[in-house]
Structure 1
């Protein structure tokens, strides 16, 4: 700014003493016209520089906001309070791993219509996985199981929020969130939910919530997992996963390998 003012102040002496009077019919007008062009260019350049600085500051602020939000999610995920959510959700998933009927029950409960009833044969497994359920009768087990299913809903919502931060993939990958542990069990529920959605006109009419498959596909991309593009690929992954086999995967899940495919 000081340099611009100095150039402007020196314009008159230059025009008066250094430029011959007969150079121009009107000696001052060309000089000041030229200076006006110069000042306009400088002002335009200043605007461009200012916009560039603002864009850089906005980019830095956005990155810091993303990193802060991911950090807050990680604090939530690792908190003692959220540990109870994870425990309850994983009990529900473990029961679904060991009982295909219960997994289908879980998937049906993600929709507001055509919900299946609790399969009584799974009560023994629920008592085995949770000491607090051992003294409950069958009717009490059904009510107690609802609490674990609510915890699973919270986990699904947590990963759905995480999937929305795909643009900050580097941060998410470094935070981990134990996704590799949740992924195979969640794909069971996701695929069963997908099948119910595809096979029921009533569900498609009344249920507009995002399917779990959309969340898992986004997270698979972030974490670098090979995409699962069809039902067969999903069930091959599930039925061959070492951890699910260790958990006692219900052999009946292999029946899905021979059923008609739905797009994952």
Structure 2
């Protein structure tokens, strides 16, 4: 379709120019004195000169129109390719493992505030908190494979889940930065409504650690989760969470987090009661 459309447009422009040129002589003949056309050679030469100039100009116009059309087609192809690639990634069996491990780590943070603080600290290279042994019961509740493991093995198993969470965070960061994200999301929403409350919980804890530590601000320049979430919220049409109070109000009152068993100790961050 693209190959046939441009030649037709180019041909139409050329025909229009020739028609205008053919009409120019009789119109000019009726408007100016006869003496203007007394020299036949000059008349033919000037007429051909005007024609070729007009054809050249028409060629430039048709080329510009063709380039605009090519740009639109390339843009559509880029969006379609983005949809296909991201959908393939998100629905692959390998990435399903990434999602399962990531959500398991986030649910542990929802159920256990100590683990949530630990998880947020591990998103920075400095001032990392030690593994909270008290959260072992929560981790075992969410993952049968962690039961009866030694403390050392538990730490290694938890690290594996957190590495998968890093991959998931990178996926959402990549999605938020794509120019075609809004169009892509119309075709595949990537279950963002499920991820949004748990990610905001960890993102806000990370933000607060960053704001309270000069050492972290000095040595850590990676993008904070809240930057990604604000971009995705805008794309998905969620109302912006502008203040700390609004964010914790959203987290502590979210029906899904309450159903997941939100640790009551998070209420201390807002001074309000859930549900």
User: Which TM-score band (shorter chain)?
Assistant: 0.7 to 0.9
Relative to structure 2, which stretch is displaced further, 153-162 or 57-66? 57-66
Shift, 1:127, TM fit: 1.2
Match of 1:107 in 2: 120
2:98 aligned to 85, 89, 92, which one? 85
Shift, 1:200, TM fit: 1.4
Shift, 1:23, TM fit: 4.3
Residues in 1 aligned to 2:263 and 2:179: alpha-carbon distance in whole angstroms: 33
Asked whether the equivalents of residues 175 and 181 of structure 2 are also in contact (C-alpha less than 8 Å), the reply is no
Asked whether the equivalents of residues 82 and 184 of structure 2 are also in contact (C-alpha less than 8 Å), the reply is no
2:41 aligned to 28, 34, 42, which one? 28
Match of 1:215 in 2: 228
1:116 aligned to 121, 126, 129, which one? 129
Matched, 1:233 2:243: no
TM norm structure 2? 0.83
Asked whether the equivalents of residues 18 and 51 of structure 2 are also in contact (C-alpha less than 8 Å), the reply is no
TM norm structure 1? 0.86
1:98 aligned to 111, 134, 138, which one? 111
Shift, 1:31, TM fit: 4.3
1:156 aligned to 131, 149, 169, which one? 169
Matched, 1:141 2:140: no
Partner-residue secondary structure (3-state), 1:176: coil
Shift, 1:30, TM fit: 4.7
Matched, 1:254 2:267: yes
Residues 77-126 of structure 1, C-alpha deviations (whole Å, 9 max, x = no match): 11111111111111100100011111111111111111111111001111
Asked whether the equivalents of residues 190 and 211 of structure 1 are also in contact (C-alpha less than 8 Å), the reply is yes
Residues in 1 aligned to 2:48 and 2:56: alpha-carbon distance in whole angstroms: 12
Residues in 1 aligned to 2:264 and 2:78: alpha-carbon distance in whole angstroms: 46
Match of 1:128 in 2: 141
Matches within 5 A, 1:57-96: 57-96=70-109
Shift, 1:241, TM fit: 0.3
Partner-residue secondary structure (3-state), 1:193: helix
Residues 195-224 of structure 1, C-alpha deviations (whole Å, 9 max, x = no match): 111111221111111111111111111111
Asked whether the equivalents of residues 89 and 155 of structure 1 are also in contact (C-alpha less than 8 Å), the reply is yes
Residues 43-81 of structure 1, C-alpha deviations (whole Å, 9 max, x = no match): 222212211122212221122112212221111111111
Residues 209-264 of structure 1, C-alpha deviations (whole Å, 9 max, x = no match): 11111111111111111111111111000000000000110111122225xxxxxx
Residues in 2 aligned to 1:156 and 1:173: alpha-carbon distance in whole angstroms: 20
Residues in 1 aligned to 2:212 and 2:40: alpha-carbon distance in whole angstroms: 86
Residues in 1 aligned to 2:100 and 2:147: alpha-carbon distance in whole angstroms: 17
Relative to structure 2, which stretch is displaced further, 47-56 or 233-242? 47-56
Q: CA RMSD in A?
A: 2.7
Asked whether the equivalents of residues 217 and 227 of structure 1 are also in contact (C-alpha less than 8 Å), the reply is yes
